[in-house]
Amino acid sequence: MLSRSLIHKSRAPFVIFLALFLIVCAGHKPTYPPFTEKSYDQVVENWLQRFSSKQGADSLVLLGTSTQDRPIWAHRFGQGSRTALVMGGIHGDEHSSVWLMSMCLDTLAFMDFDSVKIYVIPVANPDGLVKNTRQNANKVDLNRNFPTANWKPSAGERSYAPGPFAGSEIETQILVRFLSEHQPAFIITAHAPLACVNYDGPAENYAAVMAEISGYPAKSDIGYPTPGSMGTFTGDERQIPTITLELQKIESPERMHDHVRAVLAALKLLQNQIS
Ligand SMILES: [Zn+2]
């Protein structure tokens, strides 16, 4: 008896430590876990099933397939003569941007936009997302690959590799074609982790509305050059109001709801300006 109680006593600190460790681990489990190849397929399948039944199959638009043959989808909501584009996941290691798009899909499905057509592209770089890399499968940073006047063949750091030529990547070509065909009047692209509302083109009013709700500062300059970026292509060169909504790498559910509200407020501002 004595020896058993001694053993129990000697194990007690370990048991307490283990319990505390498990509690801490549970507390730090990310609410929006990184995508894996398997979980990504499940999430996309879920989106497709929900939206094809709820909105009608024609609300789903297959824009094309990625370098590794993954479909790149757009989900369409509302109707009207003008178009807005909301997009995430152009950088594959910015998973919070894709979770934000998932939440936007859920919210937009229950809203009425009668003078704006909204396209959501939840994942612009699916190959990068499942491999958790910024770049696409060809190791090109798609947000440095747009055919802008300031595109450069080298970008210094490898993670910003702009590709062999401007617009070389199939994912960039898909987006450029979408922009040409749909001529959006307003664009939001979600990124991470800089925690700010960056804007290009005449988008200061949208940025101010979003900054107030998201709690992140509005910035016209992100602090370093971004040749070949989508914001340069659409905002600076085509004068389409373009918001680059920079989230944090991991966001709490409460903050994510704030960011969804910020996106919706900007879309409503566009609608009010039209109607
Ligand atoms: Zn990014």
pLDDT in tens, 27-86: 555 678 888 888 888 888 888 887 666 555 568 899 999 999 999 999 999 989 899 999
Residue ranges with CB less than 5 Å from ion ligand 1: 91, 94, 191
Nearest to 116 by CA among 8, 25, 190, 188: 188
Report residue 142's pLDDT band, with 50, 70 and 90 as the boundaries: very high
Catalytic residue among 204, 246, 251, 254: 246
Gap from CA of 2 to ligand 1 centroid (Å): 62
Gap from CA of 246 to ligand 1 centroid (Å): 8
Summarize pLDDT for 143-199 with one digit per residue, the tens: 999 999 999 998 778 889 999 999 999 999 999 999 999 999 999 999 999 999 999
Nearest to 72 by CA among 92, 94, 100: 92
Gap from CA of 162 to ligand 1 centroid (Å): 14
Query: What 3-state class would DSSP assign to 114?
Result: coil
CA dist., res. 65 & res. 69, Å (int): 5
The pLDDT value recorded for residue 50 is: 75
Reply yes or no on whether 237 is catalytic: no
Gap from CA of 140 to ligand 1 centroid (Å): 13
Sequence-ordered alpha helix ranges (H) in 86-196 = 95-108, 126-131, 170-182
The pLDDT value recorded for residue 37 is: 87
User: Looking at the predicted structure, is the pLDDT value of residue 101 above 80?
Assistant: yes
Gap from CA of 134 to ligand 1 centroid (Å): 7
